């Protein structure tokens, strides 16, 4: 029975059919699967499958990235309310678009995937100052700051990731808070993340979630 639901759920996700995915979840619950089973045996494996798919085909459909993330986040949030014992979040990330950058799609994909992987996400929105990133990370006891930039000048600006790195250095926080970046400029220049002071980067929103989880584990082994 479980295998049939896994197949149906994956098909719905890869067809970017949110309603069909939710219908699969509702049928599975009606048939006796637990909310925990839904998250850990349907949702998370589907996200991991999309990650593997993207590694093989970096030009995979952006709509699939987005819908996988949104479906995963929606289902996970609904199921967490029904867990007999709420799971412990593995860590917390502060996410936002760099100062001067108003693009939000990439970080929305990252946020959806992170939520399904049991990461608490604080989304600061777009046009976020470096000071706001660091202040919030400290206040929220976050392990990672994730900065999205879709334009070269916002990725390389001294008011963006470079300033985040500088603030972390000044406050002696580099061992406690890691910096991840992503967006189009980093795909064009895979070494750019080093130039802006980041610890890691990801080529797309889905695999960014895995990169961020790895950084959290560096801080919280």
- CATH no. for residue 13? 1.10.1240
- The number of folded domains in the chain is 2
Regarding whether 213 and 107 lie in a shared domain, the answer is: yes
Q: What pLDDT is stored for residue 104 in this prediction? A: 81
* pLDDT tier, 95 (very low <50, low <70, confident <90, very high otherwise): very high
Higher pLDDT, 178 or 60: 178
* pLDDT tier, 180 (very low <50, low <70, confident <90, very high otherwise): very high
Can you give the residue range of the structural domain that contains 28?
2-80
Boundary-marking domain end, from 24, 51, 80: 80
CB of 198 closer than 8 Å to CB of 181: yes
Regarding whether 6 and 52 lie in a shared domain, the answer is: yes
**Is the residue at 85 inside a domain?**
no
Q: Where are the alpha helices (DSSP H) in 31-129?
A: 35-37, 44-56, 62-80, 105-116
Which pTM value belongs to this model?
Answer: 0.81
* Strand order across the 119-123 sheet: 119-123, 91-97, 144-148, 178-182, 200-202
**Is the residue at 125 inside a domain?**
yes
Interhelix angle 44-56/105-116, nearest 10 degrees: 130
On the question of pLDDT at 2 being above 90, the answer is no
Higher pLDDT, 14 or 164: 164
CB of 161 closer than 8 Å to CB of 131: no
**Is the residue at 86 inside a domain?**
no
């Amino acid at each position: 029975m479980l295998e049939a639901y896994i197949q149906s759920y994956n098909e719905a996700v890869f067809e970017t059919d949110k309603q069909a995915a939710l219908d699969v979840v509702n049928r599975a619950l009606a048939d006796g699967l637990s909310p925990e089973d839904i998250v850990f045996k349907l949702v998370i494996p589907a996200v991991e499958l999309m990650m593997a798919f993207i590694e093989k085909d970096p030009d995979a459909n952006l709509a699939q990235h987005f819908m996988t993330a949104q479906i995963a986040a929606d289902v996970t949030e609904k199921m967490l309310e029904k867990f007999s014992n709420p799971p412990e979040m593995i860590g917390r990330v502060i996410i936002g678009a760099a100062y001067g950058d108003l693009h939000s799609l990439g970080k929305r994909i990252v946020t959806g995937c992170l939520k399904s992987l049991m990461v608490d996400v604080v989304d600061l929105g777009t046009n976020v100052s470096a000071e706001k990133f660091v202040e919030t990370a400290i206040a929220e006891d976050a392990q990672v700051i994730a900065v999205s930039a879709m334009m070269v000048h916002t990725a390389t600006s001294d008011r963006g990731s470079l300033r985040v790195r500088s603030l972390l250095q000044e406050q002696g926080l580099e061992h406690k808070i890691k910096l991840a970046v992503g967006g189009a400029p980093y795909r064009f220049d895979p070494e750019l993340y080093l130039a802006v002071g980041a610890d890691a980067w990801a080529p797309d929103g889905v695999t960014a979630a895995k990169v961020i989880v790895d950084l959290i584990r560096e801080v919280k082994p």
